[in-house]
Structure 1
Amino acid sequence: MKLHAPVKVIRKPEVLETFGFSNSTIYNRINAGIFPPPISLGGSAKGWLQHEVNAVLAAYASGKSTTEVQELVKELVAQRIEILDTGAAL
C-alpha cells in the first residue's frame, strides 16, 4: 500500500507570491498550457493544487523547455481525477 500526503489547495495570493507573477500572467500561462488551471472550490472560489504548482516550479527551475512544461501540465491535469477521487496527492 502506497502512502500519500493529503491534497493541499493554495489560493491565488500564494501562487502569485511563489512565482512573482501578476494576475494576468498566471492566466496567460494557463491559456498557453504552461501552468495548471485552478480547481473550483464551490461558488466563485478557486484554488490550485499545491503539488501541481510545485511540479511546475521545479520544471522551470530545472530548465525544462516550454514544450516539456506543457506536457507536464497535461499530465498533472489528467491525474486530477485519480488524485481527487482518492483524496491523496502525489
Structure 2
Amino acid sequence: MNNLPATGFLRLHQIIGDKRVEPPTTAIIPVSKSTWWAGVASGRYPQPVKIGSRCTAWRVEDIRSFIEKGGVA
C-alpha cells in the first residue's frame, strides 16, 4: 500500500493487477475482474467514478480506506 499515491485515481488493472502486460502489474487487491465487479455491485468494494464516457476509475482514498478496514484478506 506504500506505493499508492496520496490522492488521485486508479484504474481497474492497477487495482486487481494485469499479468498480460509487460512488465506485469502487481495486484493491490488480488481478485478476478468478475469478482471485483460483483463486489462493487453488492457494495463490498468501493464505488467507481466515471471520469469519461468510457473510462471508470476509483479514488485512491477509497481504496486505501477499504484496505485499512481489513477489506483485503
Query: What is the root-mean-square deviation of aligned Cα atoms in Å?
Result: 1.9
Per chain length, whose mean CA-contact separation is higher, i.e. which structure has more relative contact order (CA < 8 Å, sep 6+)? 1
Amino acid at match of 2:36: I
The structure having more radius of gyration, on CA atoms, is: 1
Structure 1 stretches of 4+ moved >2 Å: none
1:88 alignment counterpart: none
% identical equivalent positions: 16
Residue 44 (structure 1) shift: 0.6
Any stretches of 5+ residues in structure 1 without a counterpart?
1-5, 64-90
1:15 alignment counterpart: 15
SS of residue in 2 equivalent to 1:60: coil
Residue 7 (structure 1) shift: 3.9
1:44-77 deviations in Å (ceiling 9; x for gaps): 101000010110011116x9xxxxxxxxxxxxxx
SS of residue in 1 equivalent to 2:45: coil
2:61 alignment counterpart: 51
Task: Give the helix-richer structure, 1 or 2.
Answer: 1
Residue 38 (structure 1) shift: 1.0
Give the count of matched residue pairs.
57
TM-score of the pair, normalised by structure 2: 0.69
Cα distance in 2 for partners of 1:7, 1:14 equals: 14
Amino acid at match of 2:69: A
TM-score of the pair, normalised by structure 1: 0.57
